Amino acid sequence: MSDLSIIAHDYALNADFARRFNDAVLNLKRLYLLHRAATGGAEANIESSRTDLKKLLESLVLALQDKSKPWTAEQAQVPADVIDRLRRRLKGELPQTVAELRQVANDLAQGSVLGESSFAALDRVCEAADATASAAFRRLRRI
């Protein structure tokens, strides 16, 4: 593969993850923070967002915890660049953030309402995913 192909592939992976994660978080924020009632098709969209976000969070928590172990198919849902950026950004807060993300995943699995503290943890992941996708895009533009 050429450098351009590798960088384009990295960008596609990072941008897709950021889009999926952000879309799910935004749908749930509309419901829980803005208290917009789900109607008709919106309710199915909310359930889909809860399911997708739960799967992504479970993969993310596994990847953040198991630094030295070989990755499973579950962990492969999260780009390595996003994992690296989160580790660098969170440093000393990583264990606490992993525990918060695990709790959010549990809340989603149980159908619990998400509060502002849950969204604060999710926002940290959104920021890292967006920054990673932006950095990959800038690398792609330089070539």
Kindly report, residue by residue over 31-69, the tens digit of the pLDDT.
Answer: 888 877 555 566 778 899 999 999 999 999 988 887 656
Structural domain span for residue 101: 3-142
Give me the number of domains the chain comprises.
1
Q: Which residue has the tokens 């999260």?
A: 78
Q: Could you tell me if 83 and 61 are in contact, meaning their C-beta atoms sit under 8 angstroms apart?
A: no
* Helix H or strand E segment including 80: helix 80-90
pTM: 0.86
Sequence letter at residue 37: A
Identify the pLDDT of residue 43. 75
Q: Which DSSP string corresponds to 110-137?
A: HTPPP-HHHHHHHHHHHHHHHHHHHHHH
Nearest-angstrom CA–CA distance, 118 and 50: 13
